[in-house]
Amino acid sequence: MSSIWNNRISVSFFGETDGPAIGVTIDNLPPGEFIDADEIRRFMDRRTPKSCRDENTRRTPTPRIMSGILNERTSGGPLCAFIQNVDARPNSDTSNVSRLAMPGHADYTGALRYRGYNDVKSRVDMSERLTAPLVFAGAVCAQILERRGIFTGAHIYQIHNIKDNPYDKVKFDRDAVLSVRYKDFPVINDRKGWLMLEDMAHAKEAGESLGGIVECAAVNVPAGVGAPVFNGIENNIAQLIFGIPAVKGLEFGAGFSTAKMLGSQNNDDFYVDDHGHVLTKTNNHGGILGGISSGMPIVLNVAFKPLANEGLGGIGDTCIVPRIVPCVESAVNIALLSNMLDYPGFC
């Protein structure tokens, strides 16, 4: 099992869902960066939006920073954060866990891959707990990027058959990020959000679960960041995105819609604006050409499958999408910071 992502900066997860703790180590961060612990806590709390909380919702304990921060600034050493599992089950506690393979889980494939030695209990709450280290790392990277004017935002674009308004792929800006970031339910159109919550409530009553799509965009990434072939920005983002549980699809810009376009419809014409900046009139390419940023907003959609029906609890368990929004942002933040370290004058 690989729990390390390494590309200029490295991110390593440790611990198990039912162990005493989980955590993350981030290495090769630039030194001297101010890190606001309260802002990290606020960013991580978005994994349980207020509109999806009930009496059964568990709040992730405050991460304990073990190393890498001195006087609120990165020291240049590995930044290690420790997150205690306050209700961890003892290793011997398998009384409530079926030995049968659950549909929608990796029980069967995991048993084959690890010759029966995998921990069957680890399927419980995997999406909730193992995303905490990712979001911690993404929150740290976000602060470093935003200090240079690079902002990443995400929102619920679709749950089941209900769609939110999409981001403006050409005029996306910092205000568009901040207008959604700390909403109780992260959508652009609140009326569509209410409809999504109603649909989730109906699904809960029926014992069903729902899937959906998260749209994410990053603004002010300068042109010329990344590399072609195997180390492009798209490649780096995709690696991290597919480390999030329940991801089944990823597209950049117009994505799969480009398969239905003519070349003249898909092409994004360049022009020079009044400030001498090279831009494109449309953004079907999603801000990346040949693995390298174009200077336009980087835009992507991520599709998530419905959770397995067994063991569903509150409304927040009916659909993973509201809880996963900051996870998508975090994956993009980590990939962008990794690529920006090579950019002249970044740090």
14 is a domain residue:
yes
347 is a domain residue:
no
Query: How do strand 212-219 and strand 151-159 relate by DSSP bridges?
Result: antiparallel
Residue keyed to tokens 């992507």? 300
Query: Residue 50 corresponds to which tokens in the numbers above?
Result: 């207020």
What pLDDT score does 307 carry?
Answer: 84
139 is a domain residue:
yes
345 is a domain residue:
no
**Taking the alpha carbons of 208, 45, 175, 335 in that order, is the dihedral positive or negative?**
negative
Residues 170-217 pLDDT 10s: 999 999 999 999 999 999 999 999 999 999 999 999 999 999 999 999
Overall domain count for the chain: 1
* Domain span including residue 311: 4-340
Buried b (16+ CB within 10 A) or exposed e, 146-160: bebebbbbbbbbbbb
Give the C-alpha separation, 156 to 126, whole Å. Answer: 21
274 is a domain residue:
yes
What pLDDT score does 102 carry?
Answer: 65
In 3D, which of 215, 221, 236 has the Cα closest to residue 296? 221
Angle, in degrees to the nearest 10, between helices 132-146 and 37-45: 130
**CB neighbour list of residue 85: distance below 8 Å, 6 or more residues apart:** 15, 17, 18, 19, 20, 21, 22, 129
Contact, 78 vs 28, CB < 8 A?
no
282 is a domain residue:
yes
For the chain, which residues score pLDDT lower than 50? 1, 92, 123-127
Q: Can you tell me whether residue 138 is helix, strand or coil?
A: helix
What pLDDT score does 124 carry?
Answer: 41
Which amino acid, residue 127? S
158 is a domain residue:
yes
What pLDDT score does 279 carry?
Answer: 96
Q: Can you tell me whether residue 36 is helix, strand or coil?
A: coil
Q: Can you tell me whether residue 38 is helix, strand or coil?
A: helix
CATH number of the domain residue 305 falls in: 3.60.150.10
Query: Residue 73 corresponds to which tokens in the numbers above?
Result: 């600034």
Residues 25-67 pLDDT 10s: 999 999 999 999 999 999 999 998 888 776 666 667 889 999 9
Contact, 140 vs 26, CB < 8 A?
yes
Give the C-alpha separation, 50 to 258, whole Å. Answer: 37
What pLDDT score does 314 carry?
Answer: 65
What pLDDT score does 20 carry?
Answer: 84
What pLDDT score does 104 carry?
Answer: 65
321 is a domain residue:
yes
